[in-house]
Amino acid sequence: MAAVQATTGIQANTKTSAEPVRPLANFPPSKWGERFLSFSLDKSELERYAIDMEKPKEDLRKLIVDPKMDSNEKLGLIYSVHRLGLTYMFLQEIESQLDKLFNKFSLQDYEELDLYTISINFQVFRHLGYKLPCDVFNKFKDANSGTFKESITSDVRGMLGLYESAQLRIRGEKILDEASVFIEGKLKSVVNTLEGNLAQHVKQSLRRPFHQGMPMVEARLYFSNYEEECSAHDSLFKLAKLHFKYLELQQKEELRIVTKWYKDMRFQEDTPYIRDRVPEIYLWILGLYFEPRYSLARIIATKITLFLVVLDDTYDAYATIEEIRLLTDAKNKWDISALEQIPEYIRPFYKVLLNEYAEIEKEMAKEGRANTVIASKEAFQDIARGYLEEAEWTNSGYVASFPEYMKNGLITSAYNVISKSALVGMGEIVSEDALAWYESHPKPLQAAELISRLQDDVMTYQFERERGQSATGVDAYIKTYGVSEKKAIDELKIMIDNAWKDINEGCLKPRQVSMDLLAPILNLARMIDVVYRYDDGFTFPGSTLKEYINLLFVGSLPV
């Protein structure tokens, strides 16, 4: 992402009357200013919501384990619990129920079920890590033609369920590959003829399927748009509403904390060329984990990601190639003694970076978890070296081969920094073994990095090209394989699609690590989709991020 135009820059400490030529991007200003600084948390109100949740929580727990409830009804209930973001409260009970139902699975039991019910069941099992076979959908295909039966096209609700199910496919599940394309076309052809809630459901899913959306926002949208499902059980409706109110207060307070910290650090005064995107970055990190217990983790990860924005924009949109070399060397040293070698404009940032990391490491060391901070720091140094590589390419006019680009591009996608920084405040769940698993660069992590790199490239390559930058995956692919721009983009999208399949497979049981550790990997890939599916929603915050920030932090759910 970071690369700089060829410049006639000067050494950092050389005084001259001539200003160096800088690759300024003139990023749009923040849409939010200081509005989130004014929030004042009433702790007694937060505690009241926590207390009020206990009764409906226990009532819902009893429903989930009720042995008298029909299995399909129970799976429908668990589906709503999951869609509302409440799974973490009942994970043990839900897995106990799903274990029993999965072990009793018989394809014959699905012969009499309709498409919608089968789809809901399939989604529940797959979302919770159980590999229910996609053969459950075979009966909806014509045995002679091998195509989907025309009769299902009159069942819009069922088609919608199948479309959402197809997003959970893994490699080799041909029927779900076909379903995704076929059903998407059918839904698009009928969406403008639909009315009421069903029309809204289809539009929402076509815009962004649940599996690829931001969990917190998807939960709120489900609560608003699926009133019948949410109201089916009084305890479910009450708990969901109280839970949203609790999270709303907690998250507004977290946003206030990081906004104040950012202002106190004077980033916009010292480095005014950077993107001012505090609410957007906090939203991004909230997308990784929204559970109350990860409050500290969100604050830490947001701060580190804001550091990353300063670094990225300095390399990408301000520093000369000579300054970038000096900055990278200072990052490698990670010592205050390097302060004098870097340009004066970036020295305040460098001091804050070192001091904040030292403070975080000191706090984590008290709990015996300084290793997570060290991993984050090393990832930060890696990305600085990756940014330098891209800058050198652009400075010399070199267009890397696609394999060469991807080797460096997976680093500069920022995925490694953000995902490892997300671990810092998560607590004892991040054991030595868990961190070692992350460091081994497992398949789900590789896949998520690829999505992060290529989804960004597909949406930003034209802007980067206009600014004279050569380091994008689209350009590298065109050069290496001699294809058209359209063909290159199509191929990159296929790679992204396959990466999603690999993430899906990595989340199925038996897992190498707990889902708590896999969730940030999956959710960061989801946030890349949210930010970059339709445009560069971070550099030029458009409708999606603005809509989400308004939904979660500006508006308020009625009590």
- Intrachain domains 69-233 and 266-554 with the same fold: no
Per-residue pLDDT at 515:
96
What Å distances lie between residue 342 and 11, 228, 347, 404, CA to CA?
Answer: 9, 60, 7, 29
Asked if pLDDT for residue 551 goes beyond 50, the answer is yes
Asked if pLDDT for residue 14 goes beyond 80, the answer is no
**pLDDT-wise least confident of 20-29, 39-48, 62-71, 126-135:** 20-29
Residues 452 and 528 sit within 8 Å (Cβ to Cβ) = yes
pLDDT digits (tens, 9 = 90+) for 152-180: 999 999 999 999 999 999 999 999 999 99
Average of per-residue pLDDT values in the chain? 93
Per-residue pLDDT at 558:
73
CATH no., domain 266-554: 1.10.600.10
pLDDT digits (tens, 9 = 90+) for 56-104: 999 999 999 999 999 999 999 999 999 999 999 999 999 999 999 999 9
Higher pLDDT, 67 or 558: 67
Domain parsing of the chain, residue ranges? 69-233, 266-554
Per-residue pLDDT at 26:
85
**pLDDT-wise least confident of 317-321, 377-381, 411-415, 541-545:** 541-545
177: amino acid identity, one letter: D
Predicted TM-score of the model (pTM):
0.94
Asked if pLDDT for residue 1 goes beyond 70, the answer is no
Asked if pLDDT for residue 46 goes beyond 60, the answer is yes
* CA dihedral of 456, 213, 526, 284, whole degrees rounded to 10: 80
Per-residue pLDDT at 24:
83
CA–CA separation, 87 and 129 (whole Å): 13
What Å distances lie between residue 338 and 130, 329, 352, 495, CA to CA?
Answer: 52, 8, 14, 41
Residue 535 — pLDDT band, cuts 50, 70, 90? confident
pLDDT digits (tens, 9 = 90+) for 416-451: 999 999 999 999 999 999 999 999 999 999 999 999
Q: What angle do CA 38, 39, 42 make, to 5 degrees?
A: 140
Per-residue pLDDT at 459:
87
Residue labelled with tokens 């305890």: 235
pLDDT digits (tens, 9 = 90+) for 491-507: 999 999 999 999 999 99
Per-residue pLDDT at 467:
64
pLDDT digits (tens, 9 = 90+) for 232-269: 999 999 999 999 999 999 999 999 999 999 999 999 99
Backbone angles phi, psi at 161, to 5 degrees: -65, -40
Q: What are residue 148's DSSP bridge partners?
A: 141
Per-residue pLDDT at 186:
98
Q: What is the mean pLDDT of residues 217-232?
A: 94
Contacts with 299 (C-beta within 8 Å, 6 or more apart), sequence order: 254, 257, 258, 425
Residue 5 — pLDDT band, cuts 50, 70, 90? very low
CA atoms within 13 Å, Cβ hemisphere of 430: 25
**pLDDT-wise least confident of 183-192, 362-371, 430-439, 527-536:** 527-536
Asked if pLDDT for residue 516 goes beyond 90, the answer is yes
Residues 384 and 331 sit within 8 Å (Cβ to Cβ) = yes
Q: What is the mean pLDDT of residues 29-53?
A: 96
Q: Which fold has domain 69-233?
A: Glycosyltransferase (1.50.10)
Per-residue pLDDT at 25:
83
pLDDT digits (tens, 9 = 90+) for 119-138: 999 999 999 999 999 999 99
Per-residue pLDDT at 471:
67
CA–CA separation, 337 and 330 (whole Å): 9
Helix (H) or strand (E) holding 74: helix 71-83
Helix (H) or strand (E) holding 381: helix 370-396
Asked if pLDDT for residue 326 goes beyond 80, the answer is yes
Backbone angles phi, psi at 141, to 5 degrees: -110, 145
Per-residue pLDDT at 470:
59
Residue 542 — pLDDT band, cuts 50, 70, 90? confident
- Three-state SS letters, 208-262: CCHHHCCHHHHHHHHHHHCHHHHCCCHHHHHHHHHHHHHHHHHHHHHHHHHHHHH
Q: What is the mean pLDDT of residues 144-148?
A: 94
CA–CA separation, 486 and 474 (whole Å): 9
Contacts with 390 (C-beta within 8 Å, 6 or more apart), sequence order: 1, 2, 3, 315, 408, 412, 469, 471
